Structure 1
Amino acid sequence: MNDKIVIVDDEDGILKMRQSLLLRNTCKCILFLSPFEALNAIENINPAVVIADQKMPGMTGTEFLEKVKKSESPD
């Protein structure tokens, strides 16, 4: 079972709060403060779930998730 969850948020406190909630379910949370860093790493992580904040510097959560989806699409 893939239990990896990627969480992206530019606010460290929010990231840690979400991680704390999800760790109760023994999920492996991988945290990123930057959507750009997350995009560079996400292919190697192969998460089951991706959670993103909507308002981040440089990229919205919607834009980020669209890029994640495109990177996972077979060519």
Structure 2
Amino acid sequence: MNKEINEKIIQVCDDKIAKKGDNVGLSFYAFFKNKNDNPKLLMQVATWWIETHQLDHFEKAVKIKQMILDSK
């Protein structure tokens, strides 16, 4: 995934954790607007989430953030 989406994922995770605590879960849809204006990027993130890492629909934000940080 590109640097821009990685930064967006970290930002969303940080926001969710700040609002709801370390136990908050999210899905990959959390990184996109309700209107799908970038289907290629959505599919890229979905592939990373579902195929590459075989994650559940909802995962802890702290886990996702750490996975992104570890991939840099």
TM over 0.5: no
Higher relative contact order (CA 8 A, sep 6+): 2
- Tell me the TM-score normalized by structure 1: 0.30
Q: More helix per residue: 1 or 2?
A: 2
- Tell me the TM-score normalized by structure 2: 0.31
Computing the radius of gyration from Cα coordinates, the structure with the larger value is 1
Q: More strand per residue: 1 or 2?
A: 1
